[in-house]
Structure 1
């Protein structure tokens, strides 16, 4: 072997040794301590279905998929022609019921006057019978007239209670239909992002028909699965970190918001560090709402990434998992 070949071979060995040492050193630096559990998952968010309360034709949908909406913002309108007609009928019922109340009150005034006259007539008769000017039979007749007037007044007063109750019933129907008309304007119950636009103008929907699906960007999390050997040391509120494949340079702070009480077999789409353990526990890693608000424009669901959970409280995170965030959305 020539001296040139010997030198070349030595150089290759040196380079290989340096590269292997660097790779080993990197593995040592990236290795997680035993106090940190690890899992893969995807960014998810709670969804809210905005649906019709009653059936009807969609007049317009005012948002597009991907739009950010504020709580209370108008999203869509449902036709209310039929409800408007029902409301007019209910309002007419209120007017009719009020007229009935007025008529009954007039009857009460009349019956009260009749009773007063009957009472006075009876009193005069009782005086006259003592003096012998009229017979007892006439007194008895006037007593009967007075009792009849009392019964008539009581009956009319009972009608007044029913008439007033009819007014309240009609008013309640007006309020009910008015609420349905208000509900025909579909408004965002939360601030979030439009995920799906499920109905278009002209479509006729049944009661409960979905129009828009919203993502609640204040409730964003990643679900991971941990083996039984680790989940026993994970507690609600434990510190966590999330690193997304789309932005590996950032480390997002989070915390454990849910730990499943029962184990399950590992879902096929989830990768784990050790595939020897088949029973896993579902863990939810939640991102703080205030942090989400600061970066609302950058929040995306479906992004894959990794979550790390601290199982030893008051333990410092390794350098590669120290929080590092992008600048807030402007």
Structure 2
């Protein structure tokens, strides 16, 4: 009986000691700097297909380290290349049509200028004939007024010359009217030719844009790495169909690892963007890494239905993301880490002069 009581007392003492140690440890953790546990993450980028084509060749394998711009996958480019050839032929045809329209516009311009010059010349001829006809008519009137002092032949010759100039003047006027109409028609033809040339030039621009779009589609047949990183996933095998928007490969950049941990509501004031932190990884127990807080979430990751009591508020946790300063390849995605926020330095108080 006495032995059972002694054993019970010893057991109670051990449990009490363990409980005290646990309480002391929790108190020290609560009084220590804020922090939490997280998992290392890399910057992941999905490489997607923009065209509907089959995979022809995979130039890398999962786990390979690639540089930015490295060729990852080649897609079947038969259809995009045929489309490019067609658009280039249409562009050549549009340029030929534009050159012909430009030449026609230049010819119409020269013709319009020539017809306009002819119309101007007709007006000058009318003015000259009008002067000559007026002079001949006045000469005939003077000879007729002279009476017996002039011969009949001279008078008839003067009248005939005046009548001939009158007819020439009338014919010149008709020719001038026709030349004016031709000049207006030539000007209209010139404007139409210029518009056709402008339309042909716009057609060349449209065809050129189509060629550029076709070249972009051809370039999409080669999927290249948008960043330097490690090939985490290759989703398709050669012969499989890549649909537009489908993920063909996924790259992870471990040059700037990051991690997210959760701070309880009571410790949220200890975190702010730009704050320094210390990171320890289980894989490197004797090594620490510097980190910096990038974002502190504005909303809690867990919110009880009713936040009324102190215990409910303590259950609120906020995600905090840090970027870790570590040599590339040391901290790999998925590694568990322990993050400790460095306490803020109190601002120095200037000593007052006596």
Query: So what's the TM-score if we normalise by structure 2?
Result: 0.72
In terms of fraction of residues, the more helix-rich structure is: 2
SS in 2 for 1:221: strand
The alignment status of 1:70 with 2:67, answered yes or no, reads yes
Would you say the 8 A contact 2:115–2:182 is kept in 1? yes
Q: How many residues align?
A: 284
Q: Of residues 123, 144, 154 in structure 2, which corresponds to 1:126?
A: 123
Deviation at 1:275? 11
CA distance in 2, matches of 1:70, 1:313: 41
Matching residue of 1:115: 112
Would you say the 8 A contact 1:238–1:313 is kept in 2? no
SS in 2 for 1:71: coil
Cα gap change, 1:109/1:261 in structure 2, threshold over 3 Å: closer, same or farther? closer
Question: What is the correspondence of 1:239-278 to structure 2 with a 5 Å cutoff?
Answer: 239-265=276-302, 277-278=314-315
Matching residue of 1:308: 340
The alignment status of 1:279 with 2:316, answered yes or no, reads yes
Question: What is the correspondence of 1:48-63 to structure 2 with a 5 Å cutoff?
Answer: 48-63=45-60
CA distance in 2, matches of 1:278, 1:72: 46
CA distance in 1, matches of 2:313, 2:180: 102
Cα gap change, 1:41/1:109 in structure 2, threshold over 3 Å: closer, same or farther? closer
Q: Of residues 146, 149, 158 in structure 1, which corresponds to 2:186?
A: 149
CA-atom RMSD in angstroms? 3.0
Deviation at 1:250? 2.0
Would you say the 8 A contact 1:243–1:307 is kept in 2? yes
CA distance in 2, matches of 1:275, 1:77: 55
Q: Of residues 217, 238, 241 in structure 2, which corresponds to 1:180?
A: 217
Would you say the 8 A contact 1:197–1:211 is kept in 2? yes
CA distance in 1, matches of 2:346, 2:335: 30
Deviation at 1:108? 2.2
Cα gap change, 1:238/1:129 in structure 2, threshold over 3 Å: closer, same or farther? closer
CA distance in 1, matches of 2:339, 2:241: 44
Question: What is the correspondence of 1:284-299 to structure 2 with a 5 Å cutoff?
Answer: 284-288=321-325, 291=326, 294=327, 296-299=328-331
Matching residue of 1:106: 103
Gaps of 5+ in 1: 1-12, 267-273, 316-330
Cα gap change, 1:160/1:252 in structure 2, threshold over 3 Å: closer, same or farther? same
Would you say the 8 A contact 1:122–1:142 is kept in 2? yes
Would you say the 8 A contact 2:34–2:270 is kept in 1? no
Would you say the 8 A contact 1:50–1:213 is kept in 2? yes
CA distance in 2, matches of 1:144, 1:303: 90
Would you say the 8 A contact 2:266–2:314 is kept in 1? no
Matching residue of 1:169: 206
Deviation at 1:62? 1.4
Deviation string, structure 1 residues 173-198 (Cα, Å, up to 9, x no partner) = 11121122123211111111111111
Deviation string, structure 1 residues 91-122 (Cα, Å, up to 9, x no partner) = 11111111112211222233233223322332
Deviation at 1:297? 3.1
CA distance in 2, matches of 1:256, 1:116: 77
Structure showing greater radius of gyration is 2
